[in-house]
Structure 1
Amino acid sequence: MSAASHTPTRVPRRLADLDTPATLVEVPRLAANLRRGVDVADRDGLALRPHAKTHKTVEIARRQLATGAAGLTVSKLDELDALRPAGATSYLLAYPLVSAVKTARLVELVAGTPARILAALDGPAGADALSAAATRAGITLEVLIEIDSGLGRCGVAPNVAADLAQMAASRPGLRIAGVFTHAGHAYSARDTTELARAAQQEVDAVRHAARDIRAAGIACEVVSVGSTPTFLTRADRRGVTETRPGNYALLDRTQVALGVATLDQCALSVLCTVVSTGPGRAVVDAGSKVFGLDRGGHGVSLIDGYGEDPERGATLSWLSEEHGVVSDPAGRFAPGDRLRFVPNHACVAANLTRQLYFVDGDAVLDTVAVAAAGGGR
């Protein structure tokens, strides 16, 4: 039997039973985070459509829906396909599709599920590709115009959204359902003032775009914003209909650095074993292939190191692919010791593993498959 096909004979029941590295989700913290998300959305009068790219699991998606989420957001078609068993009635594919291969696959998924599926659109190429696929299939695709609210990635400026909406509405097989944005530039905020500014910018951008689209005689039902740090920052969200935070479910050191979470709210961690020690250092059995190399959002370094064990006072100073190095000048750690690190970016850590261990304290409750692990298509 190959190593890849080997199935352990012992079912892990306690943390001590787990081989490492093991990516853990603390269930009470997860539940509290999901409840907090619904409470914040309700406070602002918004539907909650969480971004499932954070966890990529059917189980957490089901918990989000059971807690009060109105639908799910996904980034890739693989995620949409893998997470359909969660049973959401509505999905937003928040990623532009421009190729015939992808639009044909989208049409197949739309035809194969009773759920409402909204597709992203941010330019003529996408409109042409989506229209061609919808026309061939004899269906109508609902699209949201993506608005750039400050990140400078995908999306159009608010003041040209109506032009794109008019062009897309003239294409057969397309219906404009609304607008959406992602305030990813919030991850570059250096203080609460900058964060609050980003939170208001995303709202102002979609309100502007929605107003102009409606003035052009096109309905704009959905007005959607999404970013965990802006979601957890107060703003005037009148005129917005839904919010799409993703990381709020698990949280991580980036959200702590931005001031919207604390370490004891972070639900995801990685259990590691010290495998070697040397002068001033301890080495654990997880590196960049487990934690990723993020030091903050979108290329901005906000954080020292790559993971933190708050109970043991240990920080991952640097990573290679299979090794994580902890500064240990006092020689506190010995081979065989276990450390449990909160990663900088929970979304990356979840994506880099095939399974999550649901835990409550020292008890291992369940093993959950990461249904859409990997880069995705």
Structure 2
Amino acid sequence: MEQEQAWYLLPDEERIETPSLIFYEERLKANISLLKSKIDRVSRLRPHVKTYKCREITRLLLSAGINKFKCATIAEAEMLAMDQVPDVLLAYQPVAENISRFFKLKSQYPDTAFSCLADHPKIAEQLSAMAIKEDVTVDVYIDLNVGMNRTGISPDQALSLVKSLRRLTGLRIKGLHAYDGHIHDAAMEVRMEKSAPVIKQLSDLQEKLEAYLGYDLRIVAGGTPTFPIYASETDFECSPGTFILWDKGYQDAYPEQAFYTAALVASRVVSLPDDGWICTDLGHKAVAAEKELKNRVFFISAPLLEVQSQSEEHLVLRNTTPENYLPGDMLYGLPYHVCPTVALHEKAICLKADQSIEYWEIISRKRKITI
């Protein structure tokens, strides 16, 4: 068993600071290859960078022929443009100062084609006014609410919005965007059943709007849970994110998607407060804490340790085995939710194929890089 798990062990453990975020490059590459194998055309892939937030993984994706990306913040968009990504969708409707920042992106990084979401005439008018001022054209995707009730408009309101946008100078309607985060059931057949009406709704709306506009529209839809469905059942562009790192939550929920866990958190025992009790340095600031206590981290190097409490800098565990732990012992933990965990770290340790180590900056955890 130790030999099977050896993939996660770091060389020179005693020199590793904790808590730390660890990426495993061979597994990242394997996940990219697996993703590509699940879709008919690489051009339909538009991965979401919110999960990994670093330039080095962007470069791995680019080298694999993936040229379209999706992001949620101006900083993530700038991170992508720093590596000359050809096509970046800001999957967020910019408002207030972020409209100005969006246009600064377009000006500062002319080699990248930026687009954004729109779901309200007021914002569309502001985008149009800025486009006229800057003498540019802005590509927009109509954001649709297909059941998550977070952003977007009802599909039956889309034609009205499209008619409003068509009257505005400087805007070009590029396509439709729909995020179905409410469809996250463990059973694949349930996800397929819930996705079917969404697929029909989007396809019917696409046909109607293309007839009105007189040109083709793209559909960008879904995340990781519904990726296999949209990949095989539609011609939509697909936007999985968590696939690249994978985590305990998705590993348990979606076994049909056999991605490798490619990111862990390294922690050390710092104290033994009582018989059978262990305190580690994996607090709220090092692993995402939005889930219930038992579903925050799973120690693959010590699976029988039971989480008891967590605070800003400490995670207390109960040792129910005869194994003895000492202060300084390293524990390797698999986060249940890796996306917000990555954002807690300024850098990641990357274990390369040759067992060397690099440090990768989590650059777009920042709200601002330069713009």
TM-score of the aligned structures, taking structure 2 as reference length: 0.88
Q: CA-to-partner distance for each residue in 1:188-236, whole Å, 9 max, x for gaps?
A: x253333223443543342233122123235343111130111145765
User: Measured at CA, do residues 266 and 218 of structure 1 come closer, stay the same or move farther in structure 2, by a change above 3 Å?
Assistant: same
In structure 2, distance between residues paired with 1:125 and 1:316 = 48
The match for 1:9 is none
1:120 aligned counterpart, secondary structure: strand
> Which of these residues, 345, 350, 353, is aligned with residue 342 of structure 2?
350
Contact preservation (8 Å) 1:355, 1:368: yes
CA distance in 1, matches of 2:315, 2:88: 37
2:179 maps to a residue whose letter is H
Of residues 308, 321, 324 in structure 1, which corresponds to 2:312?
321
Q: Is the 8 A contact 1:122 1:156 kept in 2?
A: yes
| Equivalent of residue 29 in structure 1, options 27, 30, 44 | 27
User: What residue in structure 2 maps to residue 308 of structure 1?
Assistant: 298
Give the Cα–Cα distance (whole angstroms) in 1 for the partners of residues 279 and 147 of structure 2: 40
Matching residue's letter, 1:334: L
CA distance in 2, matches of 1:196, 1:315: 35
User: What's 1:68 paired with?
Assistant: 65
Residues 18-45 of structure 1 show CA distances to partners (whole Å, capped at 9, x for unaligned) of 11111001111111111111112337x7
**In the TM superposition, what whole-angstrom CA distance separates every residue of 1:293-348 from its partner, at most 9, and x where no partner exists?**
133xxxxx7x9421112232135444211111223133633322111101011111
Alpha-carbon deviation of 1:166? 1.5
Q: Is the CA contact 2:246–2:259 (under 8 Å) kept in the aligned structure 1?
A: no
Displacement of 1:280 in angstroms is 3.7
**Residues 222 and 230 of structure 2 are in contact (CA less than 8 Å); yes or no, is this contact kept in structure 1?**
no
Choose from 90, 95, 101 the match for 2:92: 95
- 2:326 is aligned to 334
Q: What displacement does 1:112 show?
A: 1.9
Matched, 1:250 2:245: yes
- Cα displacement (A) at 1:237: 3.0
Aligned 8 A contact 2:43 2:67 in 1? no
Is contact 2:306–2:319 with CA below 8 Å preserved after alignment?
Answer: no
Question: Is 2:104 the partner of 1:108?
Answer: yes
* C-alpha distance 349-193 of structure 1, shift in aligned 2 (>3 A): same
C-alpha separation in 1, matches of 2:226 and 2:61: 19
Task: Tell me if structure 2 keeps the 8 A contact 1:144–1:177.
Answer: yes
d(CA) in 1 for partners of 2:43 and 2:93?
Answer: 24
Tell me how many residue pairs correspond in the alignment: 356
CA distance in 2, matches of 1:290, 1:140: 42
Please say if residues 229 and 260 of structure 1, whose CA atoms lie closer than 8 Å, have aligned partners that are also in contact: no
Q: TM-score, normalised by structure 1?
A: 0.87
Q: Could you tell me which residue of structure 1 aligns to residue 39 of structure 2?
A: 41
Q: Which letter maps to 2:137?
A: T
CA distance change for structure 1 residues 123 and 279 in 2, over 3 Å: closer, same or farther? farther
1:154, distance to aligned residue in structure 2 (A) = 0.5
- Aligned pair partner of 2:361 in 355, 363, 369: 369
Match of 2:207 among 190, 198, 211: 211
- How far the C-alpha of 1:360 sits from its partner, in A, is 4.7
Cα contact 1:149–1:157 (8 A) shared by 2: yes
Once the two structures are superposed, the pairs formed by residues 234-313 of structure 1 within 5 Å of their partners are 237-240=233-236, 242-260=237-255, 265-277=260-272, 278-295=274-291, 304-313=294-303
In the alignment, the residues of structure 1 paired with residue 259 and residue 301 of structure 2 have an alpha-carbon distance, to the nearest angstrom, of 10
Is residue 53–residue 246 contact of structure 1 (8 Å, CA) maintained in 2?
yes
Aligned partners of 1:103, 1:265: CA distance in 2, in Å?
38
The answer for the alignment partner of 1:192 in structure 2 is 188
Q: Does 1:19 align with 2:17?
A: yes
1:254: Cα distance to partner?
Answer: 1.7
Alpha-carbon separation, structure 1, partners of 2:192 and 2:353: 35
Would the aligned equivalents of 1:181 and 1:202 in 2 still touch at CA under 8 Å?
no
Structure 1 residue 107 displacement after superposition: 1.1
Per-residue deviation at 1:85? 2.0
Deviates more, 1:140-149 or 1:271-280: 271-280
Give the match for residue 146 of structure 1: 143
Q: Give the counterpart letter for 2:208 in structure 1.
A: D
In 1, are the aligned partners of 2:301 and 2:333 still within 8 Å (CA)? no
* Conserved 8 A contact 2:22-2:264: yes
Root-mean-square deviation over aligned CA pairs: 2.5
Q: Distance in 1 between matches of 2:163 and 2:149?
A: 23
| Partner AA of 1:197 in structure 2 | E
| Residue 225 of structure 2 is aligned to residue 229 of structure 1 | yes
Partner of 2:6: none
**Structure 2 runs not aligned, ≥5 long:** 1-9
* Deviates most, 133-142 or 261-270: 261-270
